[in-house]
A and B are shown apart, each in its own frame.
Chain A
Amino acid sequence: MGQGEGQTPIPGTLTPLAGAALPHAVARRLLACHADRLPDLSGIVVIVPNHRAAQDFARALARAAGCAALIPPTLMPLRAWAESLAGGRAEAPALRLARLHGVLRRSNGLGAADTWTLAGELLGLADELTATRFGEAPGARLRALHGEALARETALVETVWATLGVDHDAPEARYARALDALLETLRTAPRPVHAYALGPLTGVERHFLDRCATCVPFEHHTFDTSTGACHVLQQAWQHTDPPLAARAAALAARFPSSPLGGRITLAPAAHLEAEAQAVAAWVAGQLKAGHRDIALIALDRATARRVRALLERLDVLVADETGWALSTTAAAAVVDRWLECVAADFPHAELLDLLKSPFVLGAPGARQDEVLRFELALRRHGVAQGLADMQRLAHAEFGTLPAWLATLADARQGFGERRAPLAVWLARLADSLACLGAIAPLTADTAGAVLLDTLDTLRRELATDTEPYGFAEWRHWLDRALEAASFVDAAVSSPVVLTSVPAARGRLFDAVAVLGADARHLPPRPAPGLFSQATRTELGLSGIREATELVVDDLMQLLVQGPALLSWQAWRDDEPNPASPLVLRLQALHQMAWGASLPLQAPGRPPAQPGEPPAAACVTPAPTVPAVHLPRRYSPTVYQILLDCPYRFFVRSVLGIRELDAADEALDKSDYGSALHRILKVFHDGAPPTERDAALAQLQSCAAAGFEALPAYTAAAWNSRWNPVQAAYVDAWLDWVAQGWHYASGETEFTVPRNVDGLGEVILHGRVDRVDVRDDVRTVIDYKTASRHQLKKKLDTPDEAVQLPFYAWLADAAAAFLPIDETPVIPLTLEGDTDIGAIAERLPALLAAIAAGAPLRAQGVDATCAHCEARGLCRKGMWHA
């Protein structure tokens, strides 16, 4: 059934078999035909779609035979059967790819094409073409059909032909020879051959079956679509004629109630989580109903992964047969981090990742504390990259170079960098991994073992390839190779399996769920390749149409075995996401025939572990603090924070919690500010001359020194920012000097002790940028990179912006902001009538109140909250009103 229009049916006797599941039917048929042979069926061959299907078939056979033991028929997929007889070995795929790539990378005019991708695609195409047993060379065929329209594509195909010698070493060519050999053995010693659910057949395979049918009894079994659920699915999916209504009427006449009733359930979900919950609920239901072997067909991998996690919460383990790209495993990630360290001289993030990994450098527990200390040091010192700097830092931190860092350095040293063939690079990688002590831990990890094996196999397969590559090129290749390799975690054994449509072909299940049955996954749509579907057809290759028919065929076999579920996300990313056309067609037919839609599966609630104490409603925090926890020293910054939001004060000053610096934070505005502060201090400390040009020159040299150590761009940017201000600064200063002021000190600490009720003595203190004196008066000056406008606003509300009044009070002086990020440079002085005493004395009063139990409420204004590091603690935004 379901043969593509362009394809001839598979030869041999076609025997449609009734019954729900094909393997059972085939087993019964086999026993009926060959009852005389029992118990020895070894003379018979059954071609099965895959090895797991063989196991299922064996089960079916044992059940049908009902005897204690029998000698089973040869149960094999066609390819395995043939290759068990083939001699010689096919050229390794990695080597073929490398050889082809070696040629492609030298051919001109491929422009921006990714040659590895292209090589991979061409290799696949070559295999497909070989498998059609294409008579003439495809290049010639293409030219004959399309002239020069696809000149470059044609030329490429010819290159492949010339490079790979597709008629000899190619795996498909070898397979074709194996089939020939197999046919010979069948000719000489004929055995009955049965086959079912063969899946897609290449030209070569078809040809074999053709000839096979002429020399041995050959039965190809399909299932009978004239009955029950199967018939309904066939009517929905394989026919469009007569019209829907007529087919529906015929079905209704034949089956008064729907044969699908209660068997096929749909789960259109509102989002991914809902889909996963619906599937999990359905699986749970099946298990409770006593069904054991359950297939989850993962068309949508994300949902499948989510379902697996939810089921694991119920201790329903899922065996994943499909696997993941090797590159997505933690083991591969370690290799990737290591190579990134090699490539970019140890970026801190990758390095730390490596240091925290259990796969390298011995047990991570042993170095854990050191690594944490190292990480904090990296952040403190802003070291983002560079092994040399890191070694220096580690030395400073630990007094000696920690073993783990030394090992990394050694491994890096040993990693050769000259251009080399792929296999040599792989050997270098293996050596460095050994040096890092990664081999044993990786071997002990299931994915790690596969990874090492893969690397090793690639190295052996590529031993003869001599094309040299640079590090980056090799890494690109390696990434692709690990992306292409798959990792199947065999750590779970379970009758509930996560699998794919081809892998489920011909197998027995008690229940089947199809996850992701939407239009984007079903039928599958291949990505556009080198040739269009039409051209592929001209070349005798199969296309979308065949793929669709095949998937329909496979799904029918799976869905009729027992209860089935089709789930999908009816909404995705807030967009409607139509169901698969197959689902829509089935729904329409069912609705018309029986006036009812298929039943729906609702999401279930996955279990969780409630903890003690239960969560309480979020409210605005307002802790009271015992006096012992209050700090003893108070700067204007702390005072300001207390004014802005008492809870933030609680976090910063009582709990003492600060944000950690990130190692690679770009230099920001405040860094510019502090650089200027330093420069100006050096300038004034150096007693600059009061002659303008000389003063300017001196300031210039201070600035030059101050910016010298910066990265080039930052230096340039800050220079160009400071340059125009510099002269204005000198002018303002000279003006100030002319008024009789002179510089007394910079970065000066002022402290005032105060006795606070309930708290005892506290120190109020502040560090002032510059102190100038005239006669016996002084002015404290605070440099600011903020704009004049912003500073004015602060001066307007000295009771809320307390820094300057607080300085004035501490130093008993006049006070001024000096904006140093704009011209002209004009100090902004605190209004003379500001009651600085009242402002300053408010602080001890507040502290007394806090010590006496006044709560520290979270109540910042939005402008404060926007930059507040404590939001995660105060939980503003989640408060109950």
Chain B
Amino acid sequence: MREPLDNAAALDPTACVVVEACAGSGKTWLLVSRMLRLLLAGAAPSELLAITFTRKAAQEMIDRLYDWLRLLAQSDATTVRGFLRERHVAEEDVDALLPRARGLLEAVLSAQPGPTVTTFHGWFLDLVQRAPLDAGLPWGATLLDRPQQMQDEVCERLFARWAASDTAEGVALRALLADIGDSNLRGLLRRFLDARAEWWAYTEGHADPVTYALDRLRPLLHPVLETEPAAAIWADPLQCARLARVADALEHGTATECKRAAALRQALAQHDLDAVRRCILKADGGRLASKATKSVHAALGSVIEGWLDDYTALEEALENVARHEIDRRIWALNRHGLLLGHAYVESCQAAKAQQGLIDFTDVEWLAARLLRDPVHAPAMALKLDVRYRHLLLDEFQDTNPLQWHALSAWLVDARQSERGITVFMVGDPKQAIYRFRRGEARVFDVAADFLRMQFGARRFSTDMTRRLAPVLVRAVNSVFADAAGFAAHAWTPENADRAGAVLCLPVQVEKRTVDVPPNLRNPLLTPLPEGEERAVQAEAKRFAEMLRDEVLGRWGVADADGLRAARPGDVLALVRRRTHLQRYERALEQAGIPFITSRRGGLLHALEAQDLVALLETLLLPHADLRLAHTLRSPLFGCNDDELLQTFAAREDSGWERLLRCAQQPVCSPALARAARLLVRWRDLCGTLPVHDLLDRVYHEGDIEARYAAAVPPAMRPQVAANLRAFIELALKQGGGRYPTLTGFIRELAALIDDDAAPGEGVAADNAYAVRLLTIHGAKGLEAPIVWLLGGTDHDRAAAYAVLAPWSPEAPRPEHFSLFGRIADHGTGRADWFASEATLAAREADNLLYVALTRARQGLIVSGDAARNAWLKRVDTAWQAFPEPAELPTAAPVAVEVDTGPVAIVAPPVGSRVAPAVRSIAAARGEFFHACLECFAPPGARRDLAALAMRLKLEDERWALETAARALLARGELARFFDPARYLRAHSERALLDADGQIQRLDRVVEFEDAVWVIDYKTGEDSLTLSDTDLAARHRAQLERYGQLVAALHPAKAIHVAVLRADGRLVVV
């Protein structure tokens, strides 16, 4: 069924194809090539829908596509022909397709819309946002970017409400608190919420989901759950008699046995089954290997057989009771947990709905519902602007069942309505590592089968990797030789000569004996040694030192330009979990190796970001001594400990007051003086300046970049600079700039710091400078010449207080949904599901190792605690059997171009600040009066006086003002300017264009035979207070300018200029 990959067939644009491709085999190459072939074959760009796992991968795919299209458009014919042949365009078509190939760049770039390259989430969100109203989706809802905060708030609210009530929820809450405690309860609810899509799918169509789920769980448990099983034992005289007999016999034994006998008697008397259990069974509930000592045997003689039968019967009874009790606990956990979990989910949904928000799980669920329900199909078709006809699916192994159901529904539907639809799917079930995000590797096979049946898709697989050097290929093959379904990988011929090295470094530490040293440690001289996790400690040290002393600058790595010595950027260090990340970071720090890391909380945990937060908090609350001291000590101010002593030690008042006072003194240290000056200045700004602008002032006046560069070790500089940059970007972008106040911003950061949505660290422009220290999940899609897998102690902790919701991908919904507690409480009824989940988990662990090992091109180092790390043992064993070189041949370092740094920006100052216009009632009256004059003076201008009065809030005075204006115009002495019979022409609001291109608006221009009058209305109340001379003086310059303009238009006439005051007096200038 699986054929070896045939690129020609796989790229055939008319065929439907599934490709299972190993790590480094060029999936992206294949996928983008396929897109090209589709376009070449005439597909419209908008008909292409490519779905991949991350937005980053999508962006990279688009980038690659554009690159190739450019190449096709711009290269010479031979290159293009070669390119097409490489992608298996039939020889006879190559020349014919040449023009089309060349035109594709523009065809794609000018397409409206172009090809869609997105993620499932992106696609679903688009669908949901376009959904017809009658699909009942939350129209107009926007994506909630930080669900965790809202979830926590809802949880607190519910807890408070439930705890204070006697409702079923209140009862359940108290029961769960008593049974499992606060933190387990919170964990349980969180996991229930994470599994809400499964919950919805499982209970879909049932009016009372909790009852439904409980009804389905009930048959799996002991038939009687209401009564305590212990009671049955005490009620059974047979058992009691047995117990007595066993106790009797034990009395013949050793001292210990006598004690057991006494305890058993007491237990019998007190009806204490736990005590009985302690006497009969081992502490862990298992059976004792030997039930009694020789002395008992001797004492009982032949009766011993019967006695042993008694004993076994008791053991069985106790085990039954234990199982029964487990079932009772399962039942209680589910009865209460499902009730609360469901209520929690509902409350979260309601909270989102109230704010018009949805999250990704909602989107997924809604999209699936939309696609599965044929009722909406015609409306949906009208809502979409594209008809996808060519589907390309990448990284399909990480798809979850719900996504698959949505997609398959769409496919079935699309095939019916659309001819010539094609599907191309690539993935690698070996690289499925997203179970924690509900990814399900089995979906891949199910989908492949579906595509074969429905679309006649052929299924190919390839185990040829272009990434790994031969040594690594052999090393990986040896590790996975026994893994089910693993086919040995091969290397591509081009790589045959590429050097490779693999090294396994088990770290051994002797157990430390706890002995008190002869002398007490003097903490002033001797630091406490790092205590815990000594293996990790040793490993970290080894890691950093080996990188520094042996790998960097020595090991030769091949890149496009040939061989050169490894740089920090060539190394990818991987961890399985973040647990010990800090330890490795510290080691790199101490070795002076630059690195970037995917630490949780990212940016906000970086010291430089915390410095800025401390600064902002200081600006808000300078009396917070700790923040102030932190700020002073940061490179921003660089105060030393003596200066701190001056500011803080032995005082009654706050450090802030001391600082301010100190800054007044002539002998104040320059650092403190600078700090006081800048802090006071910035404090004044923080009430009104937006956060970003305030930060820019801080960066500018505090010279932050340069000061940090001087303060931190050279290896850290790029990262620190990147983080400082990222922080100011955060102020621009966080919440879309929705936090206009400093407090709001700080609160937002505080809420964000341990949120999953916390911003990552700044990415320094140049990736070559730093070792990347990432989780394996974070390294998905990455590769590096040298990979170091840091194993640590690697202890897996089993999940507890979580959801069991097995969902086989063929099924429309999970076959089961229930909650479980600790491992010991899994019970027997659900054993098969637990077992298959465990198998899946084990497979995923294998996958994770596979992904980690296959990130490397040439050098691969695996380290870890020799005693406790399972991966390490496995790798060590495999590699010892097939020794390979342990180091890469050395090469000379190639100097990296030193960036001379940007040139300083210099520019002449431009622009000015203008004082805002004063808004007074007097000014408003003047403006209105002015408008009245314009309006009423013939020929009259159109003005909406009513609206103007309303805008100026002069509704009450409107009539008075209008009357006054009319009265003014009617004055006899002004008649020559306002009575049309008395002049040739008059213009109100006369616009004139001066030589500079400015339009001047003259209030009134009146033309006579021999003269032209320019009249300027000065109707503001202030003009009344001025004498004529002052008034004329004030406006002379402006009026003379008007005069000149009018003179230019009427060279033959005399020009008069005058000011008309509100009281009707005309002041000739």
Contacts and interface: CB of A to CB of B under 8 A. Distances in A.
A255 to B, nearest CB: 19
Interface string B599-643: 000000001001100100000110111100110011100101110
Given A243-B99, A609-B701, A528 B629 contact: no
Chain B interface size range: 35 or more
A330 B904 contact: no
7 contacts: A114-B140, A330-B740, A532-B382, A574-B763, A617-B712, A856-B524, A878-B635
A210 interface: no
A645 B911 CA distance: 55
B980 interface: no
A71 B693 contact: no
Contacts of B1044: 68-69
Given A491-B916, A617-B710, A723-B178, A535 B382 contact: yes
A284 B993 CA distance: 32
A115 to B, nearest CB: 8
Contact of B178 (A152, A530, A720, A842): A720
A611 B911 contact: no
B644 A800 contact: no
B635 A318 contact: no
A796 B138 contact: no
A302 B516 contact: no
Given A72-B999, A584-B109, A655-B644, A305 B725 contact: no
A288 B626 contact: no
B485 interface: no
Interface in B109-138: 109-110, 112-114, 126, 129-130, 132-134, 136-138
Nearest to B941: A84
B133 A113 contact: yes
A243 B907 contact: no
Interface string A781-821: 00000000000000011111000000000000000000000
Nearest to B946: A89
B671 to A, nearest CB: 6
B130 A273 contact: no
B773 to A, nearest CB: 14
Given A605-B905, A657-B629, A873-B630, A861 B529 contact: yes
B218 to A, nearest CB: 26
Interface stretch (B17-25, B271-279, B412-420, B741-749): B741-749
Interface string B909-929: 111111010010000000000
A655 B993 contact: no
B910 A315 contact: yes
B74 interface: yes
A1 interface: no
Interface string A369-409: 00010011000000000000000000000000000000000
A611 B644 CA distance: 19
B102 A244 contact: yes
Given A69-B995, A70-B992, A878-B713, 13 more contacts: A66-B995, A72-B993, A110-B139, A118-B139, A272-B732, A302-B733, A302-B737, A313-B700, A490-B916, A494-B911, A617-B712, A724-B178, A872-B634
Given A280-B905, A658-B626, A846-B524, A575 B138 contact: no
B798 interface: no
Interface string B700-720: 111111111011110010000
A723 B177 CA distance: 11
Given A302-B732, A317-B913, A839-B520, A616 B710 contact: yes
Contacts of B729: 271-273, 302
A393 B531 CA distance: 46
B947 interface: yes
B139 A612 contact: no
A762 interface: no
A63 B134 CA distance: 60
A97 B32 CA distance: 48
Given A111-B138, A305-B732, A873 B992 contact: no
A860 to B, nearest CB: 8
Contacts of B740: 327-330, 332-333
B439 interface: no
A796 B514 contact: yes
B103 A314 contact: no
Given A151-B134, A271-B765, A356 B1049 contact: no
A862 B710 contact: no
A873 B738 CA distance: 32
A240 B106 contact: yes
Nearest to A449: B919
Contacts of B674: 611-612
Interface in B180-204: 181-182
Contacts of B996: 59, 62
Contacts of B103: 240, 243-244
Interface in B629-679: 629-630, 633-635, 638, 640-642, 644-645, 648-651, 655, 670-671, 674, 678
Interface stretch (B56-64, B441-449, B450-458, B571-579): B56-64
A227 interface: no
A306 interface: yes
A621 B747 CA distance: 31
A500 interface: no
A431 interface: no
Interface in B1032-1055: 1044-1046, 1048-1049
Minimum-distance CB pairs A-B, first 4? A494-B911, A59-B997, A317-B911, A872-B630
Contacts of A165: none
A869 interface: yes
A69 B1049 contact: yes
B692 interface: yes
A485 to B, nearest CB: 14
A277 B902 contact: yes
A545 interface: yes
Interface in A271-288: 271-274, 277, 280-281, 283-285, 287-288
Nearest to A147: B378
Nearest to B64: A576
Interface string A35-68: 0000110100000000000010011111101111
B226 interface: no
Contacts of A613: 638, 670-671
A516 interface: no
B994 interface: yes
Nearest to A109: B134
Nearest to B696: A309
Interface string B994-1009: 1111110000000000
A246 to B, nearest CB: 10
A284 B692 contact: no
A277 to B, nearest CB: 7
Nearest to B951: A457
A495 B911 contact: yes
Given A62-B993, A353-B743, A646-B523, A306 B732 contact: yes
B797 to A, nearest CB: 16
Contacts of B1046: 69
B511 interface: no
Given A532-B382, A716-B174, A877-B607, A349 B138 contact: no
Interface string A486-497: 000011111110
A798 B384 CA distance: 72
B688 interface: yes
B760 interface: yes
Q: Which of B109, B634, B760 has the most CB of A within 10 A?
A: B109
Given A67-B1048, A69-B1046, A527-B129, A616 B638 contact: yes
Contacts of A644: 523, 528
A738 interface: no
A608 B55 contact: no
Contact of A39 (B522, B762, B1049): B1049
Contacts of B62: 519, 576, 578
Contacts of A571: 763
